[in-house]
Amino acid sequence: MGSFDFVTIFFLVAAVVIFLQLRNVLGRRTGNEKPPFDPYSRRDPADPAAAPERGKVVTLPRRDGTEGEEGAYASVDAFTPAGTPLNESLRRVVDRDPSFNPKEFVNGAKLAYEMVVVAFADGDRKTLKNLLSREVYEGFDAAIADREAKGEVVKSNFVGIEKADIVSAEAKDNEVNVTVRVISQLISATYDKAGKLTDGDADTVAEVNDLWTFARDIRSRDPNWKLIATESEG
């Protein structure tokens, strides 16, 4: 990708429009209350019947193919000790997708996490559609629609990400999956039509623990990834 190190920039489709939108979204207070349909419920990407549509999320750098075998794994060995199960699984990902760099991937996942959480809280369907698989998007969309139907108002602030790291990876057939655990801090309060607090606390920072899985179809020349599964750890 030349001198533009945009490995943490997501959804290349309509990139200029999305960036302008992101700048506006991050400048507002939004919300992320618990909807009747839990968009953070687990969707197993390994289930063929539930396999989501592949798409664009994370852009990763391409290598020139001149590195030796061990050189190709340098970024993996720098990320996690050689010989460990995680190291071995990440090496298999590199085998199938030579563009993969775990450290840069985590940086991208953190940005994607904030963007998705803020967009969901704000009811920003356009941004979500560019970041999520079809199945995950449908869950988020249903939750937003339910919130809108009830006339609820959410006021929240994304404080930041305390920690993010890869916990597992898999290369199978034509797909590579990488799961990231994200520990974030949010302030969120939900009010009903009458302005009465119904959920959360506008003055309390809550810790959120999530597992998010990203996937890429290696048959595609497109180097982008898409969020295919989410799970809340409490």
Distance CA 152, CA 71 (A): 53
The position carrying tokens 């999320």 is 57
Rg (CA), the chain: 18
Provide the pLDDT confidence category of residue 70 given band limits of 50, 70 and 90.
low
Residue 2 above 80 pLDDT? no
The domain over range 15-232 is classified in CATH as 3.10.450.240: yes
Cβ pair 189, 223 in contact under 8 A: no
Question: How many angstroms separate the most distant Cα atoms in the chain?
Answer: 65
Burial of 183 (0-12, 13-18, 19+ CB in 10 A): middle
For residue 230, which of 154, 87, 117 has the smallest C-alpha distance? 117
Lowest mean pLDDT segment, chosen from 47-61, 149-163, 175-189, 215-229: 47-61
For 194-215, how does the pLDDT look when each residue is reduced to its tens digit (9 = 90+)?
999 999 899 999 999 999 999 9
What is the mean pLDDT of the segment spanning 92-111? Answer: 94
**pLDDT the model gives residue 213:** 97
pLDDT beyond 70 at 46: no
| Residue 94 CB contacts under 8 Å (≥ 6 apart), including other chains | 72, 73, 75, 76, 100
In the block, tokens 């803020």 appear at: 118
| Helix spans in the chain (H) | 15-26, 69-72, 74-79, 85-96, 102-122, 125-131, 134-150
Q: Render the burial of 93-125: b for 16+ CB within 10 Å, e for the rest.
A: bbebbbbbbbebbbebbbbbbbbbbbbbbbbbe
Q: Where are the domains of the chain?
A: 15-232
CA 144 to centroid of chain Cα atoms: 18
